[in-house]
Structure 1
Amino acid sequence: MVTLADWMRGCGLARLDAQVLVESVQSWSRATQAAHPERELDARALERLDTLASRLRSGEPMAYVLGQREFYGLALEVTPDVLIPRPDTELLVELALRHLDALPEAHVPTVLDMGTGSGAVAIAIAHARPKARIWALDASGPALAVARRNAQRLLDPHREGGALRFQQTDWWDGLRLPSAFAGFDCIISNPPYIAANDPHLPALRHEPPLALTGRHPNADGLSDLRRIVAQADCHLSDEGCLLLEHGYDQAAAVRNLLTAHGFREVFSARDLGGIERVSGGLCPRRQIDQSPPKIG
């Protein structure tokens, strides 16, 4: 029989990665593994561990190998159809919750998550604020299937705001809302923002290109951000907020874009690494038609 210590020595992985795989397959904590390296692995466990280790050695991300990733304290299913949720994106959730908490207590908040992917942001907000009514959009049908499964598993089916409303759209095109809808209190998005020639793209080869560079990759990576900002004011309430995640070097460009479209109190917020990761602003002031009424 092969012991745990034998497998760890021969698996070709960093120790922590190997421990994570063993914990996933055998449910042995890292403390247990350290205390009992003599434990034996049966043939079935060895086959499973060798398969997972081979995938890791080929460069596949751990999240895809295990089929899940933690985000905002929630264990999300992830597949190669969705972008792997990053800790940096939790800033988007924090800013959205802060804005919703400033609304009148009796108000039922409304939120739109554009490009929801695994559903990470929408589900985190829904979990933290059960009263909120939330719409989640994505252009990818397979991604929406993952998001729906995550919502069904992680959210109370009887939450006050009801089930998340998933829709397959090309950004604003195809969005369906109730006829008397008054606008969203918060629109959030972690859209594709990686430039077509970005040197980091080869390292992200296992993740869906649609979520990284979008349908139409371009030189500055801002194509989808421009589409979102261009029509966001039409879908926001008067004091609604637009929040956008972007690349480490795109904050100034996104602030300029928001300002050019009339957004108020435009800002950028830094993630835990000190990088300006999210920019946003309040809905532009509505234009009031002051032309004199027609007579006759």
Structure 2
Amino acid sequence: MPEAGDRHALLRAAAATLPGDTPRLDAELLLAHVLDEERLPMLMSRAPVGATAQAAFEALLARRRAHEPVAHLTGEREFWSLPIRVTRDVLVPRPDSETLIAEALAHFDARPPANVLDLGTGSGALLLAALSEWPQALGFGIDRSDAALAVARGNAARLGLAARAAFRSGDWAAGVEGPFDLILCNPPYIEDSAELMPDVADYEPASALFGGPDGLAPYRILLPEVPRLLAPGGVALFEFGLGQGPALLEMAAALHLHATTVPDLSGRARVLRIRC
């Protein structure tokens, strides 16, 4: 490692050794975490990096080289400008999932939703992002994992949203009584046979990733529940994977649901939108 005092040299050297598509960003996030500084002020500072901080930085770099996700190394991931704590019990929130929140905002442009249901809540990222946008709304998150629910409750408390967010153990919508103005869901949709990068396969829960032989098993359970759960004027938003849109639209049509797909920022169909 470079001598203390040159944080940019540290970052350059670190980025050259890291896996993944964003090695420089990963190095910056890890150094900012070690220094307990925000990333951009950290980059602008010329303050020296001492030997103790360098050693801590190198320890995190070694773990990242073994493909441990940056969010696990720092303990959180930003989602919709919220710091979401994550563990191995939940998925790391992805930027693509913010498409659900953006579409919800577009749908409720004229009036806010009174209540929000998040099926398979995991870290609570989707539900808490929605509640952060609508201060009067109440939220209800369901997950079959008690460990995931503990993470979600912790996130709600840290973000000051615990009074408006209730979490319960459950098997999708079984036993849930509606109606809800907004339904959010990012179910497991990866085919069981798919090979994943070690960052995902070795560190994130398989139960939140794999959705059966074709990845569509959760939707076969969830879509028939929409009519009874969705309030008039409401919207249900389901994330899905690459190429799954046509099959989901066909599934929705067979159930007489008014469904369309919504693209993410890269232009790929990402969200199934069902209106009541």
TM-score, normalization: structure 1? 0.81
Q: Is the 8 A contact 1:189 1:243 kept in 2?
A: yes
For residue 204 of structure 2, what is the aligned residue in structure 1? 207
Query: Given the alignment, which residue of 54, 65, 85 partners 2:62?
Result: 54
For residues 32 and 229 of structure 1, do their structure 2 counterparts lie closer, same or farther at Cα, with a shift above 3 Å needed? closer
> Aligned with 1:112: secondary structure?
strand
User: 1:254: how far off?
Assistant: 1.0
Per-residue CA deviation, residues 169-221 of structure 1 (Å, 9 max, x unaligned), is 1112243x4xxx5x1122120100000112336552111111101xxx52210
For residues 243 and 35 of structure 1, do their structure 2 counterparts lie closer, same or farther at Cα, with a shift above 3 Å needed? closer
- Structure 2 unaligned spans of 5+: none
Answer with 1 or 2: which has the greater Rg.
1
Query: Given the alignment, which residue of 261, 269, 273 partners 1:268?
Result: 261
For residue 158 of structure 2, what is the aligned residue in structure 1? 153
The residue identity in structure 2 corresponding to 1:273 is: S
Once residues 192 and 205 of structure 2 are traced to their aligned partners in structure 1, the CA distance between those partners, rounded to angstroms, is: 14
The residue identity in structure 1 corresponding to 2:187 is: P
1:17-166 alignment, distance < 5 Å: 17-27=26-36, 36=46, 39-43=48-52, 45-103=53-111, 109-156=114-161, 162-166=163-167
Would you say 1:281 and 2:274 are equivalent positions? Answer: yes
Cα root mean square deviation, aligned: 2.5
Q: Is the 8 A contact 1:126 1:155 kept in 2?
A: no
For residue 219 of structure 2, what is the aligned residue in structure 1? 225
> Alignment length, in residue pairs?
265
User: 1:241: how far off?
Assistant: 2.1
The residue identity in structure 2 corresponding to 1:249 is: G
> Aligned with 1:273: secondary structure?
coil
Once residues 277 and 46 of structure 1 are traced to their aligned partners in structure 2, the CA distance between those partners, rounded to angstroms, is: 40
Would you say 1:184 and 2:180 are equivalent positions? Answer: yes
Once residues 77 and 32 of structure 1 are traced to their aligned partners in structure 2, the CA distance between those partners, rounded to angstroms, is: 21
Once residues 34 and 225 of structure 1 are traced to their aligned partners in structure 2, the CA distance between those partners, rounded to angstroms, is: 47
Once residues 230 and 44 of structure 2 are traced to their aligned partners in structure 1, the CA distance between those partners, rounded to angstroms, is: 54
Q: Is the 8 A contact 1:190 1:244 kept in 2?
A: yes
Q: Is the 8 A contact 1:127 1:155 kept in 2?
A: no
For residues 249 and 138 of structure 1, do their structure 2 counterparts lie closer, same or farther at Cα, with a shift above 3 Å needed? same
> Aligned with 2:91: secondary structure?
coil
For residue 254 of structure 1, what is the aligned residue in structure 2? 248
Q: Percent of pairs identical after alignment?
A: 36
For residues 32 and 152 of structure 1, do their structure 2 counterparts lie closer, same or farther at Cα, with a shift above 3 Å needed? closer
The residue identity in structure 2 corresponding to 1:119 is: G
User: 1:102: how far off?
Assistant: 4.0
For residues 89 and 144 of structure 1, do their structure 2 counterparts lie closer, same or farther at Cα, with a shift above 3 Å needed? same
Once residues 36 and 212 of structure 1 are traced to their aligned partners in structure 2, the CA distance between those partners, rounded to angstroms, is: 42
User: 1:17: how far off?
Assistant: 3.0
Task: Tell me whether 11-20 or 147-156 shows the greater mean CA deviation.
Answer: 11-20
For residues 40 and 164 of structure 1, do their structure 2 counterparts lie closer, same or farther at Cα, with a shift above 3 Å needed? closer
> Aligned with 1:18: secondary structure?
helix
Per-residue CA deviation, residues 153-184 of structure 1 (Å, 9 max, x unaligned), is 11356xxxx42111111112243x4xxx5x11
> Aligned with 2:212: secondary structure?
coil
